[in-house]
């Protein structure tokens, strides 16, 4: 019988697992991915571009789109794929953002024709690439200046079929002029745009004085300038932090004008990164919920004249007051969070404005040195050829004779080299001159350039040897760029101290309300007008009211629950109810845990440490402590461990007066009236308290703590504590039953 051949396939069970440290796995597999995302995708470099931007613009440059007519966007996308190994959709999205039509940049790089959407709109989509046309804007000439003179390194593309620049030799600090957003792994960048003219002035000042202070720089570059305009609330301290560290926040608010004839507000500019659809949706919610009552209609009125959002107002409404409310409640006022993370020589660095400009100056000096060195080499090569021409000027006949007498073509250049002591390049140039040019006039005219070329070479050598002269050259270029492309600021500056920044609480409508809390956790906020002639509360079967009070709508609701948790909630955020409805289910409104219900609710303005809380437990104990234990630095909505959890809490009360009393009721149908002053005061909210209700038999327990108004004769149960209480009278049994409490 033939021996069975062993399979070459190794099963999972047969494979031997090789242990590997997680740190090794991260280092070998994850870290290369992280570095690729940071360096090759997400963060811009000192020229102000990410690789995707740079590849696209360079492709358009090589296509001749800097001076030629527009071409279909699809052509550009297809050509860019030679440098950018991504899908056409990703490349086209990159192109869209850089167009004039999208309005995402202060100085768009692409002159566009067709629909490219808008950066402020989610729904205004751009047209397909086959319908739109693009070319490079004339502004891009400043991006490619010197690129054909070896100003930057050229590297092979991903399939080694062509080359592309590692950086673009921008003649101005584009990194600060063009906004940029990128999310890498473990880091991100969010660079706001600054006004080109101001950046040029600031850079010139820094070139002249490398020790320029941040405060002086802020006098030149007054603040961010966004393509959407709007108004920046100027806070010099916050801006100084951004200029120094590259991290900070800027507050922007929309600009508007009031039309008294139409009685409407026209919002003309909104903060950068705000979305018009989100703004309209939020305004709609505010109008629908009655939080803003003076807006009759609102609409997107964008047309060929530009951005406009119109709000029709009621007669007599204050436009300024409505806008103050909208600034607080919508994205018409928004913060722009700056994070200047930039790649410098392949290393991510977080830098302030002066550090960024210094890095750009170093980069630009390097580019100019390479350009000047390239020009110098060309001039020297030309000088060398002209010196060869001057050598034959004195004896042109000899040169012609050498050429005529040389039998072999290959010997012409060597013979000329010997005859006039020329280099091979000089001899080759002379040999290539047409016969008609081998005359004194032609050669003399050419030699006239010698003096100029020698002067140019001396000038280039002197500039290359002196960094100050290179800086002067950069200054002249920046002055020319400012003169040619500088524009007035789009974003207005308003001193933040002159603006009253309002909070949501400033717009809460205040009115009297009745607060009703039930045993099962239902809560009603009823207006005084709704209560007129109808104060009979609708309740679920078996439920009853445990707390009731009058309050103002601007107050907070403080709630203590049976799970030893405290909640604080804005009364204005709770919907108005009617007495004829069940009301809001408080556990749902506050996001309570399962089985959690309120022990008491109280409308408060602030946590008052002079007021107290009394908590009663089913084991007959009670604890009393200051409300100050719930005070927090922040606006915390929930506090855990609000009281001791060693026994089950059956009731709690907000104590404003120690002489107040409460009635405790046990399952043995006994009651005890207790004054709060009889409960020992403690500093710790988790204290077990002291015994006030002596329970007999041992298995009995306290089941309720109720206000004295629940009883006809509460004083009948008042005894010295601790006490076993007294039997509940028939009258009080009836009084409790009327409230829905069945013993």
Residues 161 and 267 in one domain: no
Q: Is the dihedral of CA 271, 274, 275, 281 positive or negative?
A: negative
Residues 616 and 712 in one domain: yes
| 564-579 mean pLDDT | 90
Cα–Cα distances in Å, from 528 out to 51, 548, 578?
65, 13, 10
DSSP string, 103-116: T-SSS-SEEEES--
Residues 165 and 287 in one domain: no
| 134-163 mean pLDDT | 94
CA 188 to CA 674: how far, in whole Å? Answer: 62
pLDDT band at 623 (very low <50, low <70, confident <90, very high): very high
pLDDT band at 1 (very low <50, low <70, confident <90, very high): very low
- The strand pairing partners of 75, in sequence order, are none
Phi and psi at residue 167, to the nearest 5°:
-140, 165
Question: Which two tokens mark 690?
Answer: 């002291």
| 645-670 mean pLDDT | 92
Residues 612 and 715 in one domain: yes
Q: Which of 172, 155, 173 is nearest to 164 (CA)?
A: 155
* Local structure of 614: helix, strand or coil: strand
20 lies in some domain? no
Residues 656 and 530 in one domain: yes
DSSP string, 357-387: HHHHHHHHHHHHHHHHHHHHHHHHHHHHHHH
Residue 374 predicted with pLDDT over 90: yes
Contact 702, 665 (CB under 8 A): yes
- DSSP letter (8 states) at residue 188: E
Question: What pLDDT score does 221 carry?
Answer: 96
Q: Please list the alpha-helical segments (H only) found in 615-697.
A: none
Tell me the Ramachandran region of residue 158: left when phi exceeds 0, alpha when psi lies from -120 to 50, beta otherwise: alpha
Residues 598 and 694 in one domain: yes
pLDDT band at 7 (very low <50, low <70, confident <90, very high): low
690 lies in some domain? yes
Question: What pLDDT score does 17 carry?
Answer: 59
Residues in the chain, overall count: 743
Phi and psi at residue 584, to the nearest 5°:
-85, 140
Cα–Cα distances in Å, from 714 out to 195, 228, 600, 671, 676?
77, 70, 20, 9, 14
534 lies in some domain? yes
What is the C-alpha end-to-end distance of the chain, expressed in Å? 93
CA 342 to CA 182: how far, in whole Å? Answer: 10
Q: Which of 504, 658, 664, 661 is nearest to 573 (CA)?
A: 504
CA 34 to CA 223: how far, in whole Å? Answer: 33
Average pLDDT in the chain: 90
Burial of 390 (0-12, 13-18, 19+ CB in 10 A): middle
**Domain-ending residue, one of 280, 297, 331:** 331
Tell me the Ramachandran region of residue 27: left when phi exceeds 0, alpha when psi lies from -120 to 50, beta otherwise: alpha
Q: Which residue has the tokens 């004339």?
A: 138
Burial of 410 (0-12, 13-18, 19+ CB in 10 A): exposed
CA 669 to CA 174: how far, in whole Å? Answer: 83
Question: What pLDDT score does 392 carry?
Answer: 82
Q: Which residue has the tokens 């809460």?
A: 508
Question: Which two tokens mark 371?
Answer: 């350009």
Q: Please list the alpha-helical segments (H only) found in 174-312.
A: 174-177, 196-208, 214-220, 236-245, 276-288
Q: Which residues, including other chains, have CB under 8 Å from residue 603's CB and lie 6 or more apart?
A: 515, 549, 551, 552, 555, 556, 557, 558, 571
Residues 563 and 708 in one domain: yes
Q: Which of 496, 491, 492 is nearest to 179 (CA)?
A: 491
- DSSP letter (8 states) at residue 714: G
CATH of the domain at 144: 3.90.199.10
Q: Which of 736, 729, 650 is nearest to 693 (CA)?
A: 650
| 104-132 mean pLDDT | 94
Residues 144 and 270 in one domain: no
CA 649 to CA 560: how far, in whole Å? Answer: 10
- The strand pairing partners of 102, in sequence order, are none
Question: What pLDDT score does 9 carry?
Answer: 54
216 lies in some domain? no
Q: How many domains does the chain have?
A: 3
Residues 533 and 637 in one domain: yes
SS (H, E, C) 672-694: EEEEHHHCCECCCCCCCCEECEC
CA 549 to CA 523: how far, in whole Å? Answer: 12
30 lies in some domain? no
CATH of the domain at 314: 3.30.1360.40
Lowest mean pLDDT among 13-27, 91-105, 415-429, 499-513: 13-27
Q: Please list the alpha-helical segments (H only) found in 497-552.
A: 528-531
The residue segments making up the domain with residue 303 are: 255-331
Active site residues: 131
- The strand pairing partners of 111, in sequence order, are 135
Q: Which of 574, 570, 592 is nearest to 584 (CA)?
A: 574
Question: Which two tokens mark 321?
Answer: 């007051």
Q: Which of 28, 362, 306 is nearest to 175 (CA)?
A: 362
Model confidence over 686-742: pLDDT tens digits? 998 999 999 887 788 999 999 999 999 899 998 888 999 999 999 999 999 888 888
pLDDT band at 25 (very low <50, low <70, confident <90, very high): confident
Question: Could you give the dihedral angle defined by the CA atoms of residues 387, 390, 396 and 400, in that order, rounded to the nearest 10 degrees?
Answer: 10
Cα–Cα distances in Å, from 686 out to 71, 614, 652, 714, 731?
76, 12, 14, 29, 37
196 lies in some domain? no
**Domain-ending residue, one of 331, 351, 381:** 331
Question: Could you give the dihedral angle defined by the CA atoms of residues 206, 209, 215 and 218, in that order, rounded to the nearest 10 degrees?
Answer: -30
DSSP string, 550-587: EEETTSEEEEEETTSEEEEEEGGGSPPB-TTS--EEHH
| 663-677 mean pLDDT | 93
DSSP run (H or E) holding 455: helix 449-465
Residues 718 and 623 in one domain: yes
Residue 618 predicted with pLDDT over 60: yes
| 309-320 mean pLDDT | 93
- DSSP letter (8 states) at residue 627: G
Q: Is the dihedral of CA 547, 548, 550, 555 positive or negative?
A: positive
Q: Could you check whether the bond before residue 545 is cis, i.e. omega within 30 degrees of 0?
A: no
* Local structure of 313: helix, strand or coil: strand
CA 201 to CA 203: how far, in whole Å? Answer: 6
CA 574 to CA 590: how far, in whole Å? Answer: 10
Compare 569 and 37 and report the one with higher pLDDT. 569
Residues 156 and 279 in one domain: no
Residue 525 predicted with pLDDT over 60: yes
Residue 277 predicted with pLDDT over 90: yes
Q: Which residue has the tokens 């009070």?
A: 549
Model confidence over 194-220: pLDDT tens digits? 999 999 999 999 999 999 999 999 999
Q: Which residue has the tokens 């600034």?
A: 327
Tell me the Ramachandran region of residue 406: left when phi exceeds 0, alpha when psi lies from -120 to 50, beta otherwise: beta
CA 216 to CA 250: how far, in whole Å? Answer: 19
Residue 412 predicted with pLDDT over 70: yes
CATH of the domain at 664: 2.120.10.90
Contact 194, 272 (CB under 8 A): no
Residues 565 and 696 in one domain: yes
Per 3-state DSSP, the chain is made up of helix, strand and coil in percentages (nearest 5) of 40, 25, 40
Question: What pLDDT score does 128 carry?
Answer: 95
**Domain-ending residue, one of 301, 331, 361:** 331
Residue 145 predicted with pLDDT over 50: yes
442 lies in some domain? no
240 lies in some domain? no
């Amino acid at each position: 019988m033939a021996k069975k051949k062993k399979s070459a396939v190794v099963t999972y069970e047969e494979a031997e697992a090789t242990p590997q440290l997680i740190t090794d796995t991260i280092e070998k597999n994850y870290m290369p991915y992280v570095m690729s995302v940071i360096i090759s995708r997400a963060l811009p470099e000192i020229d102000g571009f990410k690789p995707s931007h740079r590849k696209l613009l360079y492709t358009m440059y090589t296509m001749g789109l800097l001076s030629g007519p527009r071409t279909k966007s699809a052509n550009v996308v297809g050509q860019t794929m030679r440098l950018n190994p991504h899908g056409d959709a990703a490349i086209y999205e990159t192109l869209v953002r850089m167009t004039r039509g999208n309005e995402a940049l202060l100085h768009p790089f692409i002159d566009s024709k067709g629909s490219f959407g808008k950066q402020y709109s989610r729904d205004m989509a751009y047209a397909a690439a086959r319908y739109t046309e693009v070319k490079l804007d004339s502004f891009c000439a400043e991006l490619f200046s010197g690129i054909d003179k070896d100003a930057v390194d050229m590297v092979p593309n991903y399939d080694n079929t062509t080359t592309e620049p590692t950086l673009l030799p921008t003649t101005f600090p584009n990194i600060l002029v063009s906004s940029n957003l990128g999310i890498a792994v473990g880091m991100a960048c969010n660079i706001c745009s600054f006004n080109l003219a101001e950046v040029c002035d600031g850079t010139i000042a820094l070139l002249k004085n490398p020790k320029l202070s941040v405060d002086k720089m802020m006098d030149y570059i007054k603040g961010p300038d966004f393509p959407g305009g709007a108004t920046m609330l100027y806070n010099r301290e916050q801006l100084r932090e951004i200029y120094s560290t590259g991290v900070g926040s800027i507050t922007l608010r929309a600009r508007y004008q009031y039309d008294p004839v139409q009685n409407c507000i026209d919002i003309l500019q909104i903060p950068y990164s705000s979305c018009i659809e989100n703004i309209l949706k939020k305004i709609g919610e505010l109008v629908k919920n009655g939080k803003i009552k003076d807006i009759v209609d609102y609409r997107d009125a964008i047309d060929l004249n530009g951005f406009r959002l119109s709000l029709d107002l009621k007669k007599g409404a204050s436009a300024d007051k409505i806008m103050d409310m909208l600034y607080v409640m919508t994205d018409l006022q928004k913060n722009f969070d700056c994070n200047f993370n930039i790649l410098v020589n392949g290393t991510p660095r977080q830098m302030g404005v002066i550090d960024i400009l210094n890095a750009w100056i170093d980069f630009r000096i390097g580019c100019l040195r390479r350009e000047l060195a390239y020009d110098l080499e060309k001039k020297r090569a030309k000088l060398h050829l002209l010196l060869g021409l001057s050598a034959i000027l004195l004896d042109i006949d000899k040169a012609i004779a050498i050429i005529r007498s040389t039998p072999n073509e290959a010997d012409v250049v060597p013979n000329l080299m010997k005859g006039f002591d020329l280099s091979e390049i000089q001899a080759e140039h002379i040999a290539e001159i047409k016969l008609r040019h081998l005359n004194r006039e032609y050669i003399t005219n050419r030699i006239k350039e010698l003096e100029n070329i020698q002067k140019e070479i001396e000038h280039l050598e002197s500039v290359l040897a002196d960094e100050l002269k290179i800086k002067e050259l950069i200054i002249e270029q920046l002055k020319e760029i400012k003169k040619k492309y500088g524009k007035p600021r789009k974003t207005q500056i308003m001193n933040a101290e002159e603006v009253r920044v309002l909070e949501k609480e400033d717009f809460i409508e205040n009115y009297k309300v009745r607060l009703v809390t039930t045993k099962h956790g239902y809560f009603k906020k009823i207006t005084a007008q709704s209560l007129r002639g109808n104060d009979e509360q609708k309740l679920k079967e078996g439920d009853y009211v445990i707390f009731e009070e009058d309050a103002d709508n601007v107050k907070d609701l403080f709630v203590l629950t049976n799970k030893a948790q405290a909640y604080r909630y804005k009364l204005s955020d709770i919907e108005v109810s009617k007495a004829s409805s069940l009301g809001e289910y408080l556990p749902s409104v506050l996001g309570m845990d399962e089985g959690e219900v309120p022990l008491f609710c109280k409308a408060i303005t602030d946590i008052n440490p002079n007021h107290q809380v009394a908590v009663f437990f089913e084991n007959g104990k009670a604890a009393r402590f200051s409300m100050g234990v719930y005070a927090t630095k922040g606006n915390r909505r929930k506090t855990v461990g609000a009281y001791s959890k060693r026994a089950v809490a059956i009731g709690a009360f907000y104590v404003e007066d120690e002489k107040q009393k409460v009635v405790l009721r046990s399952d043995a149908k006994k009651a005890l009236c207790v004054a709060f002053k009889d409960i020992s005061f403690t500093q710790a909210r988790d204290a077990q308290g002291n015994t006030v209700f002596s329970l007999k038999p041992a298995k009995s327990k306290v089941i309720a703590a109720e206000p004295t108004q629940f009883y006809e004769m509460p004083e009948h149960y008042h005894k010295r504590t601790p006490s076993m209480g007294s039997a509940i009278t028939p009258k009080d049994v009836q009084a409790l039953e009327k409230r829905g409490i069945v013993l």
